[in-house]
Amino acid sequence: MSSRERILGRVRRALADVPQDDMPYEQAVPRDYLREHGERSVEETVDLLAENLADYRALVHRCAPDVLPSLIAGLLTARDARSLLVPAGLDERWLAATEVTRVPDLADSSAHELDRVDSVVTACALAIAETGTIVLDGGPDQGRRRITLVPDHHICVVRVPDQVVSSVPQALERLDPARPLTWISGPSATSDIELDRVEGVHGPRTLEVVLVGGQASADVNS
C-alpha cells in the first residue's frame, strides 16, 4: 500500500464518527464577521492607509501624477542610488526625470547581480488600508518577486484611490490566487532579540510608498 493510501485510509477510519450528511461547507462556516471595520469616506480610507504604512515604518509620500517623476528622481538622489531595477511593464513616464542607470528585470540575472543594484521602483496590485499593506502580484509593472527583495531600497507606487481597499476580505476577492503574491507591511523587521524591533534583516531596509492621486498638481489647492 502506498503512503498516500495509508494516510487517506487512516483519515477515513479516524472520521468514522462523522455522519455522511454532515453539514456542507457553505453552511458550516458563519460569515457574520465584517467586510470592513468602521465607516470611512474614500479620502479617509486613503488617509488610514498612509497612517498605517507609516506606523510600520514605511516612508510615505503623497503627490499628484505630474509630480511623480520628479518625486521619484528626488528619492533616488537622496539615497545616492546609482542603479535602479525596473520591471518590464513600468510606466516609462514615472522615470522621466531620473538619470540613474536602469537594470532590466531579466529571468537569467543571477541573485548576485541583483544584490549589486541599489534601488527598485514598482507599481502594486492593490493596497489594504486597515493593515497598511501593499500587495504585489507579479504583474508587468511589478516584476519578479525577487527584485523587490534583494535590493535594499524599494519605492512602490500606489494609485489612489483606485488601488486602495479597506480590508483583508476586500483584498482577497480582488486578487488572483494563480499569480505569485507578496504582501508587504512595512520594511523587513525582526523582534527576535529581546523583542526589540529592528528594521531590515533580509528584505529592503527602506520601503518608500508613493500614493499618487487626484488631479495634476496645478489643479490642486493644498
Positions in 97-136 near other proteins (CB under 8 A): 107, 110-112, 115, 128, 130-133
Q: Which is nearer to other proteins, 78 or 107 (CB)?
A: 107
Single out the segment in contact with other proteins by CB under 8 A; choices: 11-19, 64-72, 84-92, 94-102.
Answer: 11-19
Tell me: does residue 21 bind other proteins (CB under 8 A).
Answer: no
The DSSP H or E segment spanning 26 is helix 25-28
CA atoms of 66 and 72, how far apart (whole Å): 11
Is position 187 an interface residue for other proteins (rule: CB under 8 A)?
yes
Asked whether position 192 contacts other proteins by CB under 8 A, the answer is yes
In the numeric block, the cell 541599489 is attached to: 118
Degrees, nearest 5: CA angle 211-216-217: 85
Nearer to other proteins, 92 or 173 (CB): 173
What x/- string results for residues 31 through 70 when contact with other proteins is judged by CB under 8 A? xxxx--x--------------x---x--------------
From the list 50, 31, 48, the residue with the least C-alpha distance to 39 is 48
Q: Which amino acid is at 95?
A: L
Q: In this structure, what C-alpha cell is assigned to residue 73?
A: 528622481
As a whole number of angstroms, the distance between CA 100 and CA 199 comes to 26
Q: Choose the stretch contacting other proteins; rule: CB under 8 A; options: 66-74, 89-97, 142-150, 212-220.
A: 142-150
Nearest to 202 by CA among 136, 135, 133, 154: 154
Residue 72 or 128: the one with the smaller Cβ distance to other proteins is: 128
**Member of 89, 138, 159, 214 binding other proteins (CB under 8 A):** 138
Least CB distance to other proteins at residue 140 (A): 12
Quote the least distance from Cβ 98 to other proteins, whole Å.
Answer: 26
* Residue 162 C-beta: closest distance to other proteins, Å: 21
Q: What angle (nearest 5°) sits at the alpha carbon of residue 149, between those of residues 109 and 82?
A: 70
The grid coordinates listed for 153 are: 531600497
195 binds other proteins (CB under 8 A): yes
Are 141 and 91 spatial neighbours (Cβ–Cβ below 8 Å)?
Answer: yes
**161 cis-preceded (ω within 30 degrees of 0):** yes
Residues 155-174 that bind other proteins (CB under 8 A): 168-169, 172-173
Minimum CB separation of residue 77 from other proteins in Å reads: 25
